Chains A and B, each alone.
Chain A
Amino acid sequence: MIVVLVETDLSGAAVEVSRETVAFARSLAEAGGGVPIDAVVVGEPSAGLAEQLAAYGVRDVHALTGEAFDAFSGAAWAAGVLGVRAAKNAVVVMAAGTPRGNEVMAHVAARAGVAMAANVLSFSGLSPFTVTRQVVGGAALEEMELGQRPAVFTVAGHAVEATPAPTPGVGNVVVERPVVDPADLVARVVSTEEPEPDLSGSLKSAKVVVGAGRGAGSADGFADLLELTELLDGSLGVSRVVTSLGWRPHHEQVGQTGSRISPDLYIPCGISGAIQHWAGCSSAKAILAINTDAEAPMVTKATYAVIGDLHEVVPAINAEIRRRRAG
């Protein structure tokens, strides 16, 4: 059996990267001759969750409940996942390559005394079980053998499509109440500030997305980009550098650990086009890159490009749009 840790959003639905991970698990299950897939979720499942996961081919949905799971602890989540693994003697334990997914799988692997592969893109063989994953910030790939059982790994965001199963699974909810060792609750979230509102919906459905990366320069460097966004009635999407540095909120991030967008036109400004960013924007119909570096991967992969400083190019575009509108 394969166990997949599934993350849910505030509404209780399985997040896209977790659904992608279940789809990946399905291809593995098929290669293994029809191995069942069970999901592990944390907390009381929402009304639609089991049905949603069944559509992706999941058999049982194990819900980890009880006081120990009220606030996040990587060790407790891992203990819960390993409890399910042990009861079902699962041969594979996997999660999405999100911060939580990588963290919990590292706990799982350390506790089980086995290796873990982070950010897997595909598998190429079952015996020995061989995966291909991203290394060196995506500049290289590594083929890695996971010879031990359980095989523990995470799936890079947007490496596969979140397609539903041709034949749905059962989606039977199993409420688990694992006993958690107090030692596993020492490093545990004690308070969470008001979460950022998730406004990524409009980004994902936008016809035009203006992108901004490190080239924006600072938190104050977005005025022209926001004006262009407004003039085009689009959404702003940013690179991880921009969210890590706190220049813009996380829900605006595009990429492997952000949203996947598919606009008619994406206009990445001052974004180098690292593979993890590309994972989120490769399905744009057309890309217009604005970058000082003509050799930046984003420029060479784009449909159109302007070579130059975004702080000169973008205001000029805005002025030209305003001029034509006025005329």
Chain B
Amino acid sequence: MVAPLVAVKRVVDSSSEVVLTDDAQAVDGRFAGFTMSAHEECAVELAVRLGESRVVTLGDADAVEQLRAALAVGCTAATHLVADPQTFGPADVARELAGVVREHGHDLVLLGNDAADSGDFQVGIRLAYELGWPVVNGAQTVTVEDGPDGPTATVHVSGPDGHETYRLPLPAVVTVLEGGVEPRYPTVPGRMKAKKVPIEEREPAAPPAGTGRVRLLLPPPTPSDVQVLGKGAEAAPAVVDLFERLGVIAR
């Protein structure tokens, strides 16, 4: 039996407009929508397919929303490391996650390949070093079979040289890239059930070493001088006139 732990992070939805706090240390949550990243939704889906899964997040009080979202699609237990995620760097998060893994005796940890806000690309790998486990990065799918020497994971990655396969004994850490599986939608009964699952609350084991962040900046806005040729199918003649003017098709 596999006992997966899946780590998700409450992040701003970057398709909403990004506004910074006055001290430029964070995105101002008052103007933002929140979600978990697409990679993590796929990690949750893979975890749920593999077995009874615990979801964990390190975040402020509102991050319970992301834990409930994972419970609603089939995770059966949840741990909330209550802390300000902006002050916890990737090494800090990895250390805290390792504590949860040890306490609950997981043999597989799934994470996103990169968080949609901090984009550090490293918590999963650092966690593997904390635990002394192997790590596969950027997985599309993960399956586990029981063998004579214990459970073995088969991991598919869409790598630069083609579709790659890894095969390794558990325990292991796997980070997930979106695209390999379709995350399921929560059902109404799923949502109801998720509301009743008790969430384990934990204090971080140690104060954070930090992120190295000096400040956030917004990229300078680019002035627009777009010429709109029209709306819908009616614009076609104007488009083809343009093609002729630019010489991309023969007149």
Contact = CB atoms under 8 A, between A and B. Distances in A.
B29 interface: no
Contact of B137 (A99, A147, A301, A315): A99
B14 interface: yes
Most chain A CB atoms below 10 A, which of B126, B177, B240: B240
Given A192-B164, A193-B163, A304-B242, A137 B224 contact: no
A308 to B, nearest CB: 4
Most chain A CB atoms below 10 A, which of B116, B164, B178, B211: B164
A275 B119 CA distance: 14
Contacts of A308: 231-233, 235
Contact of B89 (A98, A115, A134): A115
A205 interface: no
Interface of B: 12, 14-15, 18, 20, 27, 89-91, 114, 116-122, 125-126, 128-129, 134-138, 157-169, 172, 177-179, 211-219, 222, 224, 226-237, 239-240, 242-243, 246-249
Kindly list the 4 A-B residue pairs having the minimum CB-CB distance in the complex, ordered from nearest. A195-B162, A187-B134, A316-B233, A308-B232
Most chain A CB atoms below 10 A, which of B12, B166, B239: B239
A139 B19 CA distance: 10
A107 interface: yes
Given A136-B117, A313-B236, A321-B249, A186 B212 contact: no
Q: Which interface class (under 10, 10 to 19, 20 to 34, 35 or more) fits A?
A: 35 or more
Given A134-B119, A136-B117, A304-B242, A188 B236 contact: no
A51 interface: no
Contacts, number: 232
Contacts of B160: 7, 98-100
Given A74-B137, A191-B164, A140 B217 contact: yes
A141 B216 contact: yes
29 contacts: A74-B135, A102-B114, A106-B125, A110-B128, A115-B91, A130-B214, A135-B118, A136-B117, A140-B216, A141-B219, A142-B213, A142-B217, A144-B211, A145-B214, A154-B121, A189-B164, A189-B166, A192-B163, A192-B165, A231-B249, A289-B226, A294-B228, A303-B226, A305-B226, A306-B235, A312-B232, A313-B235, A320-B239, A324-B240
Contacts of A193: 162-165
Contacts of A132: 217
A319 interface: yes
Most chain B CB atoms below 10 A, which of A75, A140, A304: A140
Interface of A: 7, 10, 72, 74-75, 98-100, 102-103, 106-107, 109-111, 115-119, 130, 132-147, 154, 183, 186-196, 207-208, 231-232, 234, 244-246, 250, 264-265, 272, 275, 286, 288-289, 294, 299-309, 312-313, 315-317, 319-321, 324
Given A140-B217, A303-B226, A187 B135 contact: yes
